Amino acid sequence: MIINILILIIPLIASIFYKNIKNSSVIASIIELFLLLFLYFNEGSPGFFFVDNVSFIFILMVDSIYLLSLLYSRKYVHSIKNRGISENFYYLLMNFFYVSMVFALMVNNYGFMWVGIETTTISSALLLITEKSDTSLEATWRYIIIVSAGVTFAFISVILIYYSFHTLTVTAIIYSKVKDTIAIRLAIGIALVGFGTKVGVFPVHTWLPDAHSEAPSPVSAMFSGVLLPVALYVLYRIYEIFPLKELFVWAGTVSVLFAAIFLGYQKNFKRMFAYSTMENMNIALIGLSTFTYLGLIGSLLLLLSHSFGKAGAFYSSGNIYKMSDTKNIADIKGLINNKMSSVSLLLSSFAVTGTPPYGTFFGEFLILYSVLQIHFYAQFIIIVLSLFLAFVSINFNVTKMIFKGKSDYSENNVGTLIPLIAAIISIAVGVVFLVVYNEIL
């Protein structure tokens, strides 16, 4: 309990040092990583907070990407010319954003989980206008109105859960006897649409490419790498009450298919990575929805590896945007001359498209296997075809940006190390999994 409270309070304490918030936030995020070690060994019995192995992986993911994004932001945000919010306010919002995500992951109550998810919208909305333009204002607006309307719809699900169980305590409900009533089925169906808006489920995903493409790169990395998985975690906790496999697996499959189709005609590389996030989140949703052990392991592996890979992809995108002043794929040429940026972009793009030996590859493999285990063959075929389409679309565009033509971009004013570290961690997740898996076998 004390560790949970400390995890929530430390970033807020860091925010008190407003004038030096840039440094205090980084220190706070490092302390948070140490606290996670204590949390792992002292999970404790469920009370107001509830942290099991599943939620722990999500918290670890959020904290790691938060630290990387803070480090990457130091150079990136400082160099933004037309800022919509001040640099210090940016870090303040980042801290609140992080706290709201961790709160949603740790709390043992569906009502407060809803509050946590809604608070992530509040704290992250203004981050989108850090690089202020007419387009980023419109994207911010779409993000707030679409996500808020969706998450509001999800509150009906919370009301129906309370109506069915007369409690909102997660552990009390998921460990109780399984109930099959229309109210519960409705609650879970509504949660899919409501929280699905934030996860990026088709057709309520429309805010996602706009927000990701217009947000500053470290914020895009936070959105893609951890915000969507946090919403997926809440959806999964509701799904655990009564798994509607058919509905959820089909919703995920259709979303993956559409994401792969959208990926085929993207002109903006940040939008392309945004649709890749939609694809990956829905693959993870499918894995969780199979409600099998392998599906769960596969999803967690995919999400963990994807969070680092996608953070690397967005950091690299940020560097490319800074160097070239364009987000248009066709206008980017000869990145090969910028060794660090091209390597990190290539590694990240392999990570998010599920290339071996990345964790995403093993995650997708286990998820596909779990889909076969529950005999959803039609969905299996659609997912495999979509994955292939997405792989080709993204890697074709990325290799074109790197190897085609010549350029004279300069890497002097961008942070090249953090994107590379993020991409390498994504490989490490896969390799570690392989080693551990061999040991178990």
Partner 1 sequence: MSIIYTIIYLITALITISGFYIQGNKYIRSMAMTQGFQSLLIAIVSFMLGFVLKEYTFFILGILVIILRMFLVTYFLINKIPKNKSYLYESKISITYLLIMDLIFIIISIFIVYSISFIYIKTTTFPVSNILLFPLLLFFQGLFLIASRRRTMAQVLGYIEEENSLILLGVFILPVPIIIESSVFLDVLILVVIFSVISIEKPVHEKMEELRG
Interface ranges with partner 1 (CB under 8 A): 109, 111-112, 114-115, 118-119, 121-122, 125-126, 129, 134-135, 137-142, 144-145, 148-149, 152-153, 155-156, 158-160, 162-163, 166, 168, 182-183, 185-186, 209-210, 213-214, 262, 265-268, 271
Residue nearer to partner 1 on the CB measure, 187 or 323:
187
Residue nearer to partner 1 on the CB measure, 86 or 152:
152
Cβ neighbors of 339 (< 8 A, separation 6 or more) are none
Residue nearer to partner 1 on the CB measure, 37 or 149:
149
The secondary element (H helix, E strand) that includes residue 333 is none
Q: Which two tokens stand for residue 75?
A: 């150079």
Residue nearer to partner 1 on the CB measure, 112 or 433:
112
Residue 117 C-beta: closest distance to partner 1, Å: 10
Q: How far apart are CA 333 and CA 259, in angstroms?
A: 26
Residue nearer to partner 1 on the CB measure, 145 or 378:
145
Is the Cβ–Cβ distance between 15 and 21 less than 8 Å?
yes
Q: Helix (H, G, I), strand (E, B), or coil: what is residue 161?
A: helix
Is the Cβ–Cβ distance between 231 and 199 less than 8 Å?
yes
Residue nearer to partner 1 on the CB measure, 115 or 254:
115
Q: How far apart are CA 370 and CA 293, in angstroms?
A: 8
Residue 233 C-beta: closest distance to partner 1, Å: 19
Residue nearer to partner 1 on the CB measure, 116 or 419:
116
Residue 250 C-beta: closest distance to partner 1, Å: 18
Is the Cβ–Cβ distance between 426 and 311 less than 8 Å?
no
Q: Which residues share a beta bridge with 49?
A: 107
Residue 202 C-beta: closest distance to partner 1, Å: 15
Residue 264 C-beta: closest distance to partner 1, Å: 10
Q: How far apart are CA 92 and CA 123, in angstroms?
A: 9
Count other Cβ atoms within 10 Å, centred on residue 417. Answer: 12
Closest CA to 310 of 337, 288, 336, 283: 283
Longest dimension (CA), the chain: 65
Q: How far apart are CA 432 and CA 437, in angstroms?
A: 8
- Type of residue numbered 203: P
Residue nearer to partner 1 on the CB measure, 332 or 367:
332
The secondary element (H helix, E strand) that includes residue 315 is helix 293-324
Is the Cβ–Cβ distance between 282 and 363 less than 8 Å?
no
Residue nearer to partner 1 on the CB measure, 140 or 277:
140
Residue 366 C-beta: closest distance to partner 1, Å: 32
Residue nearer to partner 1 on the CB measure, 266 or 370:
266
Residue 169 C-beta: closest distance to partner 1, Å: 11
Q: How far apart are CA 310 and CA 69, in angstroms?
A: 12
Q: How far apart are CA 2 and CA 121, in angstroms?
A: 27
Residue 416 C-beta: closest distance to partner 1, Å: 27
Is the Cβ–Cβ distance between 270 and 314 less than 8 Å?
yes
Residue 79 C-beta: closest distance to partner 1, Å: 22
Is the Cβ–Cβ distance between 310 and 276 less than 8 Å?
yes
Residue 251 C-beta: closest distance to partner 1, Å: 17
Q: How far apart are CA 7 and CA 153, in angstroms?
A: 30
